Amino acid sequence: MINIVLFGKPGAGKGTQAEFLKTKYNLIHLSTGDIFRFNIKENTDLGKLAKTYMDKGDLVPDEVTIKMLESECNQYPNSSGFLFDGFPRTISQAQALDAFLNSKNEEISATIALEADDEILVKRLLERGKTSGRVDDQDEEKIRNRYQEYNEKTAPLMDYYKAQGKFYSVDGIGSINEITERLSLVIDKIK
């Protein structure tokens, strides 16, 4: 089983790349953003709660996110592995994910960060916001708040996974195919 954490700032291309990687490596793609958006659309209790945080550009609290993700993982007991997109975002989430996977005799195989310049990413998100309808992609101040949240809470994950020898950085600028190839080179080494 291979379990990959794909992370990077909002707009770095995680969702786009996850679509290619899940097919190529037969992984279950678990995007917390997609799960939250589904719950928001369906107006579930979790969706209502998540929306209050997302509308401000804040991260959804760990305990809500962790319970939701564990539930999703448990729906696929015979999978070849998981591609975590947007999770973990904090050290406590990473520790909870490690504990959950360890309870199933599994572990994170690699954490891959898509790296890109903030100014390029802001432009990407504002463009995406024109067609996606996502409120959090239409306001530059909210986008920059998400980057500040990322820097404060998510960036420390690099050190956490570096200490485990599981952190890889990939250039997230270029064509979709070029970035997919860079990611594949990393994944093929750890398989």
Q: Which residue numbers are catalytic? A: 14, 89, 128, 134, 146
Enter the DSSP assignment of 150. I
What is the C-alpha to C-alpha distance for residues 129 and 125, in angstroms, rounded to an integer?
A: 6
Cβ contact 30:171 at 8 Å: no
Cβ contact 96:64 at 8 Å: no
The backbone region for 108, taken as left when phi is positive above 0, alpha when psi lies in -120 to 50, beta otherwise, is beta
SS3 content of the chain, % helix, strand, coil (to 5): 60, 15, 30
* Amino acid residing at 7: F
